[in-house]
Amino acid sequence: MGDGNQGQLFTDAAVGAPSYDEADSEAFGYRGPTACAASGITYRQLDYWARTGLVAPSVRTATGSGTQRLYSFRDILVLKVVKRLLDTGVSLQNIRKAVDHLRTRGVKDLANVTLLSDGATVYECTSAEEVVDLLAGGQGVFGIAVSGALRELTGELAELPAERLDGGPVDADDELSARRRRRASA
């Protein structure tokens, strides 16, 4: 510890270690009200962000009256991060730029990202060195550890209903459900 070096900011072990990219399956998704509950946003925000393309549902879009949007795990994670950035005063325009960049990442990659902002610009840091370099400028910044949002979201979605894309029941014995049960009983 005394050598002054730090390792990776957030390891898989620190996040809880399930394969989040497996959880981000396109075979099932979460309806709008569930996405709102898990991310802490209003349905009005969700609808606006979907219509403007900020965070559109990647499992299924609404295709007319009576169809339901379905959001993936990653979509809801990005919604949660957007909400946190908004709460700290970052403009929607700057958030849109950050989201465009985050879209290219898998969920496991997102677990290793810390977003820092000075209130105007959003910076992505994937190592302790990048965080230190940004802080060395002396300006006030705040950070959002995506891994923290990821842990919260995993717990919240475990208690909320999912829906299969083909309309069938969500299999109670799928891999993610089995992991949840093992973790809960441990």
Is residue 161 included in any domain, yes or no? Answer: yes
The larger pLDDT score, comparing residue 157 to residue 10, is at 157
Is residue 162 included in any domain, yes or no? Answer: yes
What is the identity of the amino acid at 169?
A: P
What are the tokens at 119? 């209130």
What is the identity of the amino acid at 158?
A: A
What are the start-end ranges of the H helices in the chain?
A: 12-15, 20-23, 32-39, 43-52, 73-87, 92-102, 107-110, 128-135, 146-158, 175-185
Mean pLDDT across 14-22: 41
Beta bridge partners of 116: 123, 143
Tell me the average pLDDT of the chain. Answer: 74
Range of the domain at 102: 20-169
pLDDT attached to residue 94: 84
Residue 26, domain CATH: 1.10.1660.10
How many domains does the structure of the chain reveal?
A: 1
pLDDT in tens, 70-92: 998 889 999 998 998 888 888 88
Is residue 9 included in any domain, yes or no? Answer: no
The closest of 171, 101, 74 to 180, measured between CA atoms, is 171
Is residue 2 included in any domain, yes or no? Answer: no
Rounded Cα gap, residues 26 and 66, in angstroms: 21
Is residue 120 included in any domain, yes or no? Answer: yes
Is residue 174 included in any domain, yes or no? Answer: no
Contact 104, 72 (CB under 8 A): no
Q: Parallel, antiparallel, or unpaired: how do β-strands 142-145 and 163-164 relate?
A: unpaired
The larger pLDDT score, comparing residue 168 to residue 130, is at 130
What is the identity of the amino acid at 137?
A: G
pLDDT attached to residue 35: 94
Is residue 175 included in any domain, yes or no? Answer: no
Helix (H) or strand (E) holding 2: none
Is residue 181 included in any domain, yes or no? Answer: no
